[in-house]
């Protein structure tokens, strides 16, 4: 009997719920606690284990750990498990990493060295960049990359994996935005096919509740016991059973939906291009592209992606994110066909509103030439300083833009003029920064 069937049987028994949660089923019949039949996510051996086995099978992984605190929990768990194998592990990280990785380094004490994604607008980290970093630094314990990125661009994980393994390093991929990849041949190859560990956020593209995700393992370089123990440290001890069941639901029905949706979205992409509505195409650095991610360039419509998003919001259309150059829309099989008609009408009505040429440039991260121990910033005394006057100072906290949650500046990293210009420009255009308050940032006293 599946976990869902067990809970359903419990609901139908008209139970006297003298247990958590306090709403006693009033908000959701399926929202229960760990009972003698409902298994336990911290040491699964029945219904939850069956869901984990289903996920491992569908993604082609050896193991799957269910996450009810999003991919963030999976990233934190991997980093903590890594510290069991390496004392203060040294990690090569793509500079387009999510801030949750930086937070994981703060907790684990890892030392990091960054490598830039390539191409002007939406590129990814390349095998050549990874190879050069290994040759320069020699001693690296793990590699952490993001694929796909927020724009749907995928790195050459197979080649990066070969390089990492050649140097004895573990490869982790933040594939939060690639949860749907196994379910259609029109989509990129799932990250877990070539890496050691990865996370996928089922809530981002599958029919699963917010906060649902999976940590996938295809390696024994970190023991499954250490992965489970680390996961237990960063997850709630009162997990949401509706979230757990939604992972099973989302993964279970996905294979019947994504081929049809990919065909639909390919037709819509062609329709957009026929109306002279430009999409970001696959850059040279990327191995593949997620066609279901619509990244519409700002140039014909407005002076920035932020402007397009505001105008779309005014007519009841809400994109996932925007930046200085484009607006990003996530599509799934659950979209109404009428939404695409509304989107096309809104974009056609906007054409010709751009008054300035847009120059596409990548974020000025600049590679870290030496390792940074971001944890050293935790206890460091700090002062608030105007961001425009903070050049050459050390940052106390991560500074970046959300979404997509990329840290343009790492904690304990020196702030450059290019980084100041990047953040200041985005703020002026309407970006929502983190690490910045009323034009000031926290810098370490030196």
Q: Which CATH number goes with the domain that contains 398?
A: 3.90.105.10
For the chain, percent of residues with pLDDT exceeding 90: 83
Whether residue 86 contacts residue 137, with contact meaning beta carbons closer than 8 Å, is answered with: no
| 415 DSSP 8-state letter | P
Write 227-230 long-range contacts (CB < 8 A, 24+).
Answer: 227/63, 227/65, 227/77, 227/78, 227/81, 227/197, 228/42, 228/43, 228/65, 229/81, 230/76, 230/77, 230/78, 230/80, 230/81, 230/84
Residue 358 domain-assigned? no
Residue 357 confidence (pLDDT) above 80: no
Rounded Cα–Cα distance for residues 293 and 328 (Å) = 7
Indicate if 46 and 162 belong to the same structural domain: yes
Indicate if 18 and 117 belong to the same structural domain: yes
| Range(s) of the domain holding residue 434 | 379-444
Question: Among residues 211, 229, 254, which one ends one of the domains?
Answer: 254
The structure tokens listed for 225 are: 């016991």
Residue 356 domain-assigned? no
Residue 355 confidence (pLDDT) above 70: no
Residue 129 domain-assigned? yes
Angle formed by the axes of helices 127-137 and 157-166, nearest 10°:
20
pTM of the model: 0.95
What pLDDT sits at residue 367?
55
Indicate if 104 and 81 belong to the same structural domain: yes
Indicate if 385 and 246 belong to the same structural domain: no
Question: Among residues 230, 254, 278, which one ends one of the domains?
Answer: 254
Structural domains of the chain, count:
3
What pLDDT sits at residue 301?
83
What pLDDT sits at residue 419?
87
Count of CB atoms within 10 A of residue 54's CB? 16
Confidence band (pLDDT; 50, 70, 90) for 356?
A: low
Indicate if 329 and 238 belong to the same structural domain: no
pLDDT, average across residues 112-134: 90
Indicate if 86 and 214 belong to the same structural domain: yes
Confidence band (pLDDT; 50, 70, 90) for 446?
A: confident
Radius of gyration of the chain from Cα atoms?
22
Residue 151 bridge partners (DSSP) = none
| 414 DSSP 8-state letter | B
Residue 360 domain-assigned? no
Between 278 and 405, residue with greater pLDDT: 278
Whether residue 76 contacts residue 99, with contact meaning beta carbons closer than 8 Å, is answered with: no
Lowest mean pLDDT among 147-151, 162-166, 194-198, 401-405: 401-405
Indicate if 283 and 248 belong to the same structural domain: no
Indicate if 318 and 415 belong to the same structural domain: no
pLDDT, average across residues 394-412: 89
Residue 362 domain-assigned? no
202-222 pLDDT per residue, tens: 999 999 999 999 999 999 999
Residue 360 confidence (pLDDT) above 80: no
Indicate if 120 and 26 belong to the same structural domain: yes
Residue 319's CATH number: 3.90.1150.10
Question: Among residues 199, 223, 254, which one ends one of the domains?
Answer: 254
296-349 pLDDT per residue, tens: 998 888 888 999 999 999 999 999 999 888 999 999 999 999 999 999 999 999
pLDDT, average across residues 367-394: 89
Indicate if 301 and 388 belong to the same structural domain: no
Indicate if 24 and 173 belong to the same structural domain: yes
Confidence band (pLDDT; 50, 70, 90) for 138?
A: confident
| 327 DSSP 8-state letter | E
What pLDDT sits at residue 431?
80
Lowest mean pLDDT among 217-221, 245-249, 405-409, 440-444: 405-409
Distances in Å between the Cα of 296 and the Cα atoms of 122, 255, 284, 319, 422 are 12, 27, 18, 10, 21
Residue 161's CATH number: 3.40.640.10
Q: What angle do CA 204, 277, 310 make, to 5 degrees?
A: 60
Residue 437 domain-assigned? yes
Indicate if 275 and 334 belong to the same structural domain: yes
């Amino acid at each position: 009997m599946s976990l869902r069937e067990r809970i359903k049987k419990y609901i139908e028994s008209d139970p006297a719920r003298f247990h958590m949660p306090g709403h006693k089923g009033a908000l959701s019949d399926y929202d229960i606690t760990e009972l003698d039949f409902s298994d336990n996510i911290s040491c699964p051996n029945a219904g939850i284990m069956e869901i984990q086995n289903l996920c491992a099978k569908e993604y082609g992984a050896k193991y799957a750990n269910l996450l009810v605190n999003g991919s963030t929990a999976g990233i934190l768990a991997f980093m903590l498990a890594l510290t069991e194998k390496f004392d203060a592990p040294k990690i090569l990280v793509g500079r387009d990493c999510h801030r949750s990785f930086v937070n994981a380094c703060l907790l684990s004490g890892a030392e990091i060295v960054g490598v830039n994604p390539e191409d002007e607008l939406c590129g990814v980290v390349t095998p050549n960049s990874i190879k050069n970093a290994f040759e320069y630094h020699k001693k690296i314990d793990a590699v952490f990359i993001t694929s796909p990125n927020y724009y749907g661009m995928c790195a050459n994980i197979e080649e990066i994996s070969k390089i990492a393994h050649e140097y004895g390093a573990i490869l982790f991929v933040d594939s939060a935005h690639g949860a749907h990849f196994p379910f259609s041949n029109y989509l990129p190859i799932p990250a877990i096919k070539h890496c050691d560990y990865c996370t996928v956020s089922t809530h981002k593209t599958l029919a699963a509740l917010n906060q649902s995700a999976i940590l996938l393992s295809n390696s024994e370089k970190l023991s499954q016991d250490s992965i489970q123990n680390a996961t237990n440290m960063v997850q709630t001890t009162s997990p949401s059973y509706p979230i757990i069941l939604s992972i099973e639901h989302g993964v279970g029905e996905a294979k019947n939906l994504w081929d049809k949706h990919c065909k639909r979205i390919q037709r819509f992409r062609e329709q957009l291009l026929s109306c002279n509505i430009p999409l970001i195409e696959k850059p040279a650095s990327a191995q593949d592209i997620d066609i279901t991610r619509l990244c519409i360039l700002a140039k014909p419509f407005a002076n920035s992606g932020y402007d397009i998003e505001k105008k779309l919001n005014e007519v009841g259309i809400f994109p996932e994110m925007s930046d200085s150059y484009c607006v990003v829309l996530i599509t799934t099989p659950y979209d109404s066909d009428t939404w695409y008609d509304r989107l096309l009408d809104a974009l056609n009505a906007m054409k010709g509103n751009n008054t300035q040429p847009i120059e596409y440039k990548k974020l000025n991260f600049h590679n870290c030439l030496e390792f940074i121990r971001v944890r050293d910033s935790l206890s460091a005394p700090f002062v608030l300083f105007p961001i425009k006057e903070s050049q050459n100072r050390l940052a106390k906290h991560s500074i970046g833009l959300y979404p997509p949650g990329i840290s343009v500046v790492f904690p304990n990293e020196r702030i450059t003029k290019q980084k100041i210009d990047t953040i200041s420009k985005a703020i002026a255009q309407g970006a929502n920064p983190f690490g910045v308050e009323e034009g000031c940032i926290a810098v370490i006293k030196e």
